Amino acid sequence: MGQEVGVTPVQLVAAYSAIANGGILFQPRIVQDVFRGSQHDPVTPSTGRRVVSQRTAELMKGILAGVVDHGTAVAAQLQGYSAAGKTGTAQKIDASGKYSRSQYVASFVGFAPVERPAVTILVVIDSPVGGHHGAEVAAPAFRSIAEQTLSYLSVPQDNPSTPPQIASSTPAKSARQAREDHAVVPPPESEMSDTATLSLQSVALANPFPQPDSPPNGSSNQATGGVDHGPVIIVPDFSGLPVRRVAQRCQELGLELNVRGSGLAFAQNPAAGVQASAGTEVTVQFAR
């Protein structure tokens, strides 16, 4: 199960920071400045080295963001910020040298915001009382620490939507509720980078959202013929759209989104134009 693999907190934070930094690993340091009387010597950060490709790092970002958005770590969702990370639940060794059934180490490590990371935070709780899963006890602590830290550092918000309030005693239930309740709203263009804004503008020309006086692309129409068969959904063309826009559109139409990767959409199943019903799973692949 991997419980025999031992890493220090600093090593784990460094590894996740490498993913956040696009595959570049920097040597951790705890000293920022050195003062000798009136002399001030700032410590220069070390030059990073690439440990994984940028594409691999971006794929991992997307996976870790999914853990927070609709996986076991919905309790780590931040107010106003996107986040990515992973829960951890490890059994401790008991007096007999076997894995304990009652003593655990719960953890959550993550970074935020996802696209322009400012902080990486690790929460480790040794022998928690009550719940023992990382999703139950460590993820909420991450949320509290991250929200206060990002606010203190004046990091601009990238996800102004309010995350759903999900009360659960088990990670599985939280994940189910997240899939049912979670609404993803794209950030305003004023808070995006120039590149992202240009991308969205070019996409808007090719794939306009429905206007009041025009037939919608990916509309939901009631079947006719004397019998109510429920809504018929025409799967829209998601090509070129970012994850947040696709997630918002799927929620509006009642489709279940399965995200693969991060960046802009380049492939989807079912294909655009296919008729579907509410609750149909749509797999969309993204890449940068």
Q: What percent of the residues of the chain are helix, what percent strand, and what percent coil, each to the nearest 5?
A: 30, 25, 45
Delineate the domains of the chain, giving CATH numbers in brackets: 9-30+42-179 (3.40.710.10), 189-287 (3.30.10.20)
Please give the pLDDT value at position 189.
Answer: 38
In sequence order, the β-bridge partners of residue 91 are: 104
Q: Are 256 and 281 in contact (CB under 8 A)?
A: yes
Please give the pLDDT value at position 110.
Answer: 98
The DSSP element (H or E) to which 179 belongs, if any, is helix 171-181
Tokens of 168: 């659960």
Please give the pLDDT value at position 259.
Answer: 87
Q: Which amino acid is at 164?
A: P
pLDDT lower than 70: segments of the chain? 1-2, 161-230
Q: Are 110 and 86 in contact (CB under 8 A)?
A: yes
By C-alpha distance, which of 183, 248, 246, 254 is closest to 221?
254
Q: Which amino acid is at 32?
A: Q
Please give the pLDDT value at position 113.
Answer: 96
